[in-house]
Every structure is written in C-alpha cells, then in structure tokens.
Amino acid sequence: TSNAMWGGRFAAGPDAIMEAINASIGYDQRMARQDIEGSRAHAAMLAAQGIVTDSDAEAIREGLLTVLSEIEGGTFEFSTALEDIHMNVEARLKEVIGEPAGRLHTGRSRNDQVATDFKLWVRDQIDAAITGIDALIRALLTQAEDGADWVMPGFTHLQTAQPVTWGHHMMAYVEMFARDLSRFKDARARMNECPLGAAALAGTGFPIDRHMTAEALGFDRPAANSLDAVSDRDFALEFLAASSICAMHLSRMAEELVIWSSAQFRFVTLSDRFSTGSSIMPQKKNPDAAELIRAKIGRIFGAHTALLIVMKGLPLAYSKDMQEDKEQVFDAADNLMLALAAMEGMVKDMSANRPSLEAAAASGFSTATDLADWLVRELNMPFRDAHHVTGALVALAEGKGCDLPDLSLDEMQSVNTSITEDVFGVLGVHNSVASRTSYGGTAPSQVRSQIARWKEILA
Ligand code: ARG
C-alpha cells in the first residue's frame, strides 16, 4: 500500500531498501519535543488567522500533548514506513483526534518544519554548551585562585622556558573557553530566525502570520527568504565549528593533564572519581577521562567536515541530502557535552602538587632569562651580549650538573668579572614570577586581577 501522507499518486509502496535508505526516524525521533512545539505554535497561528477553526486548533494542540506524553513515556510506536518524526507524530495525531489532524499541515511543508525543529534542537544544544563551558570556567577560576602564586615551569616546545604561576596557566584556559562561550553566543544570535512558514520553498498563499510563530518559538524574527530558510544549515555548521574549536581546547587541556599526571611529572593528582585502574598492573591509575576527551574530539571535527561536504554542492532549495545533517550534529553535541562535563569534573577534583611544581619550576635553567635581564639592567649590557654571557653560565652549570643558583660567585665571575652577589636575587623562581608584572603577565598580582576581572564578567 502506498504512503498515507504522500502516496496519492503512487500505486505501489516502496521497496524495503527504499524504505531503509529513506527513513530517518531511527535518529530524528530525538527532535520529537521540538517537532511538537513547532506544530503547536503553527496550529495556534492557523486559528488566530482564521485558517482553521479554534476548535480544530484546540483539538490539534491537545492531541499533540498526548502524543508527546506517549513519546516521553516510551509507549509510542515509531514506524519506519512513516519515515521521520514529523510524519510519525502527525499519523499518531490522526489516530488520537481524527479528522482535524489533517488540517495541521496547512500552509506548511516538511521542509520548513524540519528546518524549524532542527534549529530549535541545535539552539537547545548551544544553550547546553554555554552552561557547560560556564561551569568549566568557574572550576578553572577556583583552581587559579587557590594557586595564584604557586610556581611551575612554563614551556615552549615542551622544554622548560620560564617559570609561570599555576594560576596563570589555569587562566590561560579561562581565556580560551571564554572565547568559546562568546562563539556559541554569537552563533545563537545569528541563527535565531524562524524558518516556519517558508513552506516547501516559495512561501504560501494562506494568510499565515510568520511573526506570530517566530515569537511563540522564541525566535527574534522570521527568516526573510523562503528559499534560504529551507535550505540553510549554517546554524548547524556554526554549532559544529564552535564545537570543534572548543573541543580542540578541551583536547589540549586533556593532553596536559595526561602529561601532568604521569609519574615523571607529578604536577597533578587526578581524583579516583575521574581515573581508572589496570586489570593487570595493580599500581596503575590512568587518566582515561582525559584520554577519551582527547580522542572524542575527532568525531566532532569529523561531523563538521562531513556536514560541510553534504552541503557544499546542493542546489537551492531542499534536497534529501540534508537529512544527513542530523546524525552528525547529534553525535557531536553528545560528545561535546560529555567532554565538557568530564573536564569540569576533572578540574574540580584535581589537586596540584605544589612541591613538584616548584621543584620543576626551578630546574632546567628556567631563570636564565631573568639572569640576562639582570645583566642588562644592572651592568648596562646590550641584551644580545647578556644573552651570550648567560648562555655561557648555563653551559658551565650544565657541565657541573647543577642549576644556575648553585653556581658560586667565583664561578659566575669566571664568565664575567662584573657580576656581583646581587645576581642571586633574580635566580629564584618566586622573584622571577613576581617580576612579570606587565599586563597579562604571570605575576601573582596580575593573575589575581585577571581572576577578579573574569569573576565580574561572569557574575
Ligand atoms: N526527514 C526529512 C529530513 O530530515 C524531512 C524533510 C523531508 N522533506 C521532503 N521534501 N522529503 O530532511
């Protein structure tokens, strides 16, 4: 038998393979709530405009709530023959309320319907991402506050560079995730135009009120071009782009946690709650959550690339290709939210090992730049000469197997006779970080003022 929704011109039903390739109900049932919300707004508007009667609209709106409770209660039977969530809901509505159900689709197409549902779904995920990132930033701020003046090595090339503070390192991630926050907010503002009422592609002759449905669904305005409204998936792509960049940040942080929690570094101890053991090696405590965050990110990048490729050659307006938008976005959203929550949990629970951080901060000649700066400041040496003299002192210390502060004054003077006892004042890591007071620098005073600034922004 032919399809109840569109089978008027068909003598035969679809082949099983046709049905299998066509159906999206297996995944788009996740948009049930959005679909019903959109249909309820549409029905109310149809009545307000005198396109359907108030009593039909009331029956539709009530019936849709019944269908929603069946879906949420797990008693709804989804049918592959009915392709997607839109037709599954409408078919069930017909069973529940009878004839008025057939009036719901007046002045509307599945093309504007699916664009609206999907936008509502993505908008919810943007809000969830914003909440998740906000929570992560707060956890980072707490870490930064606790360790605003704890010293640790700063790295370039993963080689010891200069001492920094733990608070400064945490605040670097605050900056990164705050940019993610603003990207999601930007995307939300840009996408918030309602496709509903664009109908199949050309608009409709019914006297619909698109401003009314747009407002009812929390959009700022109706989308202004019906062709664009049904063929636009920029909102999904922007969500995936913002997710990808955020995921990249999560992955970099995850990588640092993996390194920092190793026996060789011991910079942090991850909580038992966010670690796992080994089935053979009894001593093991593995940073699996961090590793999985690092890995899951690939799916998010993949989703972004996949949807760009789906969209790239499509002529206007709707093509069925666009049905392939959802699974990618669903999977990316699920994994982003999970990664954000896992990172927040790890950051909240982790404890920085202050003695290890401090010992590491002092090793690897980390204050060599401070020494060179001292030569410039106190001996009026040109920086390039100071760099050279310091290099010679590093080589001397390296040869002796000690750090810079362990050299005697005699040894220092063997490289440059003008060096005085005062030099030892700048070789300590605490003095080093305290001196970095330029705006945005690692000095605890700067870190504290950045923490205060972010707290005010987030309040
Ligand atoms: N399941 C479809 C999708 O996800 C709904 C839109 C179908 N429109 C159409 N003209 N066949 O894209």
* 335 CA to centre of ligand 1 in angstroms: 25
Instruction: Give per-residue pLDDT as tens, 323-350.
Output: 999 999 999 999 999 999 999 999 999 9
Confidence at 8, pLDDT banded by 50, 70, 90: confident
Q: Is pLDDT above 80 for 409?
A: yes
- Answer whether 318 contacts ligand 1 (Cβ < 6 A): yes
Nearest to 351 by CA among 176, 138, 132, 147: 147
Residue carrying the six token digits 């109840």: 4
- Does the predicted TM-score (pTM) go above 0.90? yes
pLDDT of residue 282: 82
The Cα 180–Cα 192 span in angstroms is 18
Atom of ligand 1 nearest to the CA of 24: 1
* 116 CA to centre of ligand 1 in angstroms: 12
Atom of ligand 1 nearest to the CA of 322: 12
CB atoms within 10 A of CB 143: 22
* 323 CA to centre of ligand 1 in angstroms: 6
Q: Is pLDDT above 80 for 423?
A: yes
- Answer whether 275 contacts ligand 1 (Cβ < 6 A): no
Q: Is pLDDT above 90 for 123?
A: yes
- Look at residue 161 and give its three-state secondary structure: strand
The Cα 265–Cα 267 span in angstroms is 5
Nearest to 303 by CA among 134, 132, 180, 122: 122
The distance in angstroms from the start CA to the end CA of the chain is 60
- Answer whether 322 contacts ligand 1 (Cβ < 6 A): yes
Residue carrying the six token digits 């210390």: 397
Instruction: Give per-residue pLDDT as tens, 260-288.
Output: 999 999 999 999 898 888 888 888 889 99
- Answer whether 114 contacts ligand 1 (Cβ < 6 A): yes
Alpha carbon nearest to ligand 1 atom 3, residue? 323
Ligand 1 pocket test, candidate residues 110, 233, 310, most atoms within 8 A of CB: 110
Query: Which residues make beta-bridge pairs with 192?
Result: none
- Answer whether 110 contacts ligand 1 (Cβ < 6 A): yes
pLDDT of residue 108: 97
3-state helix, strand, coil in the chain (%, to 5): 70, 5, 25
Q: Among 24-28, 354-358, 365-369, which stretch is predicted with the lowest mean pLDDT?
A: 365-369
- Answer whether 25 contacts ligand 1 (Cβ < 6 A): no
Percent of the chain with pLDDT over 90: 90
Alpha-carbon Rg for the chain in angstroms: 31
Q: Could you check whether the bond before residue 317 is cis, i.e. omega within 30 degrees of 0?
A: yes
Question: Which residue pairs from 252-259 have beta carbons closer than 8 angstroms and sit at least 24 positions apart in sequence?
Answer: 253/173, 253/293, 253/343, 254/290, 254/291, 254/293, 254/294, 254/343, 255/290, 255/294, 257/287, 257/290, 257/346, 257/350, 258/287, 258/290, 258/291, 258/294
Q: Tell me whether residue 380 is exposed, middle or buried, using C-beta atoms within 10 angstroms of its C-beta: 0 to 12, 13 to 18, 19 or more.
A: exposed
* 223 CA to centre of ligand 1 in angstroms: 19
Q: How many residues are recorded in the chain?
A: 459
Could you give the residue numbers annotated as active site? 157, 278
Ligand 1 pocket test, candidate residues 27, 111, 120, most atoms within 8 A of CB: 111
| 3-state secondary structure string across 358-427 | HHHHHCCCCCHHHHHHHHHHHHCCCHHHHHHHHHHHHHHHHHHCCCHHHCCHHHHHHHCCCCCHHHHHHC
Q: Tell me whether residue 117 is exposed, middle or buried, using C-beta atoms within 10 angstroms of its C-beta: 0 to 12, 13 to 18, 19 or more.
A: buried
Alpha carbon nearest to ligand 1 atom 2, residue? 323
- Answer whether 113 contacts ligand 1 (Cβ < 6 A): no
The Cα 335–Cα 347 span in angstroms is 18
* 322 CA to centre of ligand 1 in angstroms: 8
The Cα 69–Cα 116 span in angstroms is 21
Alpha carbon nearest to ligand 1 atom 1, residue? 84
* 300 CA to centre of ligand 1 in angstroms: 24
Taking residues 141-164, what's their average pLDDT? 96
The Cα 401–Cα 321 span in angstroms is 65
* 110 CA to centre of ligand 1 in angstroms: 6
pLDDT of residue 283: 85
The Cα 250–Cα 258 span in angstroms is 12
Alpha carbon nearest to ligand 1 atom 11, residue? 320
pLDDT of residue 1: 67
Residue 365 to residues 239, 359, 418, 430: CA-CA distances in angstroms? 44, 12, 21, 14
- Answer whether 325 contacts ligand 1 (Cβ < 6 A): no
